[in-house]
Copies of this chain bind each other. A is one copy, B any other.
Amino acid sequence: MEDNRVFNFSAGPSMLPLQVLRRAGAEITNYRGSGMSVMEMSHRSKVFDEIFQGAKEKLRRALKVPQEYEILLLQGGASTQFSAVPLNLISATGRADYAITGNFANIAFQEAKKYGAVRAACSSADKGHTYIPRQEELDLDPQASYFYYCANNTIYGTEWHYVPETGAVPLVCDMSSDILSTPVDVSKYGLILAGAQKNMAPAGLTVVILRRDLAGHELPITPLMLSYQRMIDKDSMYNTPPCWCIYILGLVLDWVEEQGGVEAMEANRRKRAELLYETIDGSRLFTAPARADSRSYMNVAFRTASDELDAKFVAESVEAGFTNLKGHRLSGGMRASIYNAMPMEGVERLADFIRRFDRAN
């Protein structure tokens, strides 16, 4: 690979397009004649405002975000949103539903208990979070202020391949690990949140897309920086935003657009994931624990029947130049995270490596 770069299968932060990194490097001491780095610009300056508004507009275009939705560029990661969502939205009825399909959905659920009466509308804990419950398995509260789910479970390698039907109850979705990898009908959601560090930008930026009418109802105890209404009023600049991350987001969105938009990202992610799942399914040693209808296109979790063999695979993969294939400590086994910026070549090489290991062991 160019510049002696590795194929990095990290669950996040993860690979960025090489052209984005090169562009950022080329203008790091002097951004396009401004005489300064993006890292040095006043966030209130005209030159930064163009970067900021540009990133928002490109994101709106990429995801076809309707005009009645605000795009907020925030700090704190999805974990901060685990608090912000109930603080801002639960006052509608004091109640909310959560779909417990993995570690982060469960943390969000536990956090929301501080601020209202929340229920598990479903849980996949009975089978180690290896599947996504079907629509008819959702136990829905029609009085919930919102229904919360996590679109893709990074640790367990599962993904929702349908949008839950919840009637008048607004959908809140954590899309941290699959945003920009597939088309989304934003109008079906009340709020979408996503940490940037998988498909969008370096860690330190959190995107929130919300229907404007849902803001303005926060609990009085809401910390000032967690109020959606305040952030709408200040166009995400109540204080200094994470300027560098926003700049990189803009460059990544240029790249996505050049590649053909989220439709092209969807085609690419299918190619990547299908090759890996076919290789695993066709092997003697490896299995993918996720149920067939729930497999993630972003995080391919797989394993052998033996912890020793898993450890051997991971050790040999590092020697072969692949990084971060070890599974999360909660799930064990292996995990290949294949976000937008992972080149097909990296996946092909990994598939070859899996096949060779399968024959040799």
Contacts and interface: CB of A to CB of B under 8 A. Distances in A.
- Prevailing SS type, chain A contact patch: loop
A75 B3 contact: no
Nearest to A107: B224
Contacts of A80: 75-76, 223, 225
A67 interface: no
A45 B325 CA distance: 12
A115 B243 CA distance: 30
Given A76-B75, A221-B221, A224-B83, A244 B37 contact: no
Interface residues of A, number: 71
Interface stretch (A21-29, A92-100, A125-133): A21-29
Interface string A1-19: 1011110101111111010
Contact of A21 (B15, B39, B204, B245): B39
Interface string A293-329: 0000000000000000000000000000101100000
**Copies of this chain, tallied across the complex:** 2
Given A77-B75, A243-B202, A16 B3 contact: no
Given A1-B35, A244-B245, 12 more contacts: A14-B42, A15-B36, A16-B37, A21-B29, A21-B39, A39-B202, A39-B248, A75-B242, A76-B76, A83-B223, A202-B242, A223-B226
A22 B15 contact: no
Interface string A81-108: 0111001000000000000000000010
22 contacts: A8-B35, A10-B41, A13-B39, A13-B40, A13-B42, A13-B243, A15-B40, A16-B37, A21-B39, A22-B29, A42-B324, A45-B324, A75-B76, A79-B224, A82-B223, A87-B223, A111-B223, A195-B240, A204-B241, A204-B242, A242-B242, A244-B244
A98 B40 CA distance: 31
A111 B16 contact: no
Given A4-B35, A29-B5, A79 B40 contact: no
Nearest to A321: B35
Contact of A12 (B5, B42, B197, B202): B42
Contacts of A39: 13, 16, 21, 202-203, 248
A220 interface: yes
Nearest to A48: B13
A204 B243 contact: yes
Given A24-B28, A111-B223, A223-B80, A12 B240 contact: yes
A333 to B, nearest CB: 16
Given A203-B43, A244-B244, A83 B225 contact: yes
Interface string A230-263: 0000000011111111001000000000000000
Given A13-B40, A36-B6, A226-B223, A204 B244 contact: yes
A337 to B, nearest CB: 9
Interface string A63-79: 00000000000011111
Nearest to A223: B83
Contacts of A37: 16, 21
Given A76-B80, A114-B221, A115-B221, A29 B25 contact: yes
